[in-house]
């Protein structure tokens, strides 16, 4: 069973993602609230995948992608963003994120994107 690190500053969104990932057959290794926290938790757990929100206080998702990939270049990071964050998604992909999911996140979207990234 693949482990996932869920990164989002919203408790409700983390809970929602945890539930959807569980339904999809994944286990949640841990949760983080910003990019710096994501790096620390990634280093600790080395999960198979990361779902990373873009807009977070202190260190946003793009910063988180850069921090993680600097030390863990094989990390598989999937951005989670709102429809109006297209430029930031492109920036995150250029920084090394593997894919993205637009909110609202659904079970089908999670399964589809993680299976694409897993290949």
Q: What is the pLDDT of residues 82-106, one digit of tens each?
A: 878 888 999 999 999 999 999 999 9
Domains of the chain: 3-118 (3.40.50.2300)
Q: What is the pLDDT of residues 43-57, one digit of tens each?
A: 999 999 999 999 999
**Among the listed residues 61, 69, 113, 71, the one whose alpha carbon sits nearest the alpha carbon of residue 92:** 61
pLDDT at 60 over 80: yes
| Contact call for residues 46 and 22 (beta carbons, < 8 A) | no
């Amino acid at each position: 069973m693949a482990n996932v690190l869920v990164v989002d500053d919203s408790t409700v969104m983390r809970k929602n993602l945890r539930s959807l990932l569980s339904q999809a057959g994944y286990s949640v290794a841990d949760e983080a609230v910003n990019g710096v926290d994501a790096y620390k938790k990634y280093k600790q757990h080395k999960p198979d995948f990361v779902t990373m929100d873009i807009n977070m206080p202190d260190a946003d998702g793009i910063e988180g992608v850069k921090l993680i990939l600097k030390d863990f270049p094989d990390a598989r990071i999937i951005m989670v963003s709102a429809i109006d964050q297209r430029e930031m998604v492109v920036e995150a992909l250029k920084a090394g994120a593997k894919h993205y999911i637009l909110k609202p996140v659904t079970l089908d979207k999670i399964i589809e994107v993680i299976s694409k990234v897993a290949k």
